[in-house]
């Protein structure tokens, strides 16, 4: 945990917090917290700052803290359109995308997406939210990404923000279209492991998505979902 995160309703009078869960176990077992120690912390969808350890109860596995806000969190900087993938891959994508600063993840149905994927337990908010929060703690940020289910590609276009350069992953010998910055968060679309169909690629093109490539080697969805935002963020000096 690079950043301890707390829900706003966990914070009491004078910024006091009492925890007896995985965060307390990390403080006690990994950080060996003692009264007076200070650690980086933040509030979900709120500021970042520090917590001071007020007391520990090792026998009960509890820690008493006081939170002191210091400033604003890093803001999310990109949106991800992702053809819905298998649970194991999706779990990794949730974690890493949250750590990297995703704002919204649009999980989209496609011709090569198994229809049964839309029934997976991982699509329940109570299942994926803890994974996103773990990713935020890794990336030292507080803004919880939004997850939007889109069963049919034709339903996506009205959901996307108007601003932001639109890019679609496309294995190719070259780098695809030149990447020009634009106001708003870039929108990165990544297809299923078998790729988008010709009709789906045409639909993306019709809605302003330009191809971008990491080279000629086809990548797995969960690899592209991490590598491509990293490249885009570097080229646009975002993150």
Q: What is the tens place of the pLDDT at every residue in 90-106?
A: 999 999 999 999 999 99
Q: pLDDT band at 174, cuts 50/70/90?
A: low
Q: Is 51 exposed, middle or buried (0-12, 13-18, 19+ CB in 10 A)?
A: buried
High-pLDDT (> 90) share of the chain, %:
82
Render the burial of 101-127: b for 16+ CB within 10 Å, e for the rest: bbbbbbbbbbeebeeebeeeeebeeee
Q: pLDDT band at 197, cuts 50/70/90?
A: very high
DSSP letters along 183-207, please?
SS--EEEE--TT---HHHHHHHHHT
For position 10, what pLDDT does the model report?
Answer: 97
Q: What is the mean pLDDT of the chain?
A: 92
Spatial contact of 49 and 67, defined as CB atoms under 8 Å apart: yes
Round to whole Å and give the CA distance between 22 and 112: 38
Query: What is the mean pLDDT of the segment spanning 118-138?
Result: 97
Spatial contact of 39 and 2, defined as CB atoms under 8 Å apart: no
What pLDDT, in 10s, does the model give residues 34-90?
999 999 999 999 999 999 999 999 899 999 999 999 999 999 999 999 999 999 999
- For residue 176, give the nearest of 194, 188, 158, 184 by alpha carbon: 188
What's phi and psi for 118, nearest 5 deg?
-70, -5
Radius of gyration for the chain, computed over Cα atoms and rounded to the nearest angstrom: 20
Specify the range with the lowest mean pLDDT, choosing from 82-96, 129-143, 216-230: 216-230
For position 177, what pLDDT does the model report?
Answer: 54
Distances from the Cα of 65 to the Cα of 29, 35, 142, angstroms:
16, 9, 18
């Amino acid at each position: 945990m690079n950043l301890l995160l707390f829900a706003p309703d966990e914070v009491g009078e004078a910024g006091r917090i009492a925890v007896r869960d995985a965060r307390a176990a990390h403080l006690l077992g990994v950080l060996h917290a003692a009264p007076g120690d200070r650690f980086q912390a933040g509030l979900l969808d709120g500021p970042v700052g520090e917590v001071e350890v007020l007391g520990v109860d090792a026998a009960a596995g509890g820690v008493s803290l006081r939170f002191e806000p210091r400033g604003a969190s890093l803001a999310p900087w990109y949106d991800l359109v992702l053809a819905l993938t298998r649970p194991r891959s999706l779990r990794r994508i949730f974690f890493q995308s949250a750590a990297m600063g995703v704002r919204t993840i649009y999980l989209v149905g496609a011709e090569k997406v198994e229809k049964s994927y839309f029934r997976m337990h991982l699509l329940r908010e109570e299942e994926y939210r803890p994974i996103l929060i773990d990713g935020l703690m890794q990336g030292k940020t507080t803004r919880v990404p939004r997850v939007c289910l889109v069963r049919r590609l034709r339903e996506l276009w009205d959901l996307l923000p108007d601003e932001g350069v639109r890019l679609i992953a496309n294995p190719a010998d070259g780098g695809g279209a030149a990447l020009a910055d634009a106001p708003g968060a870039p929108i990165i679309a990544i297809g299923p492991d078998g790729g988008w169909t010709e009709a789906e690629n045409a639909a993306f093109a019709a809605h302003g998505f330009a191809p971008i490539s990491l080279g000629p080697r086809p990548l797995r969805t969960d690899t592209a979902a991490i590598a491509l935002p990293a490249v885009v963020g570097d080229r646009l000096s975002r993150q």
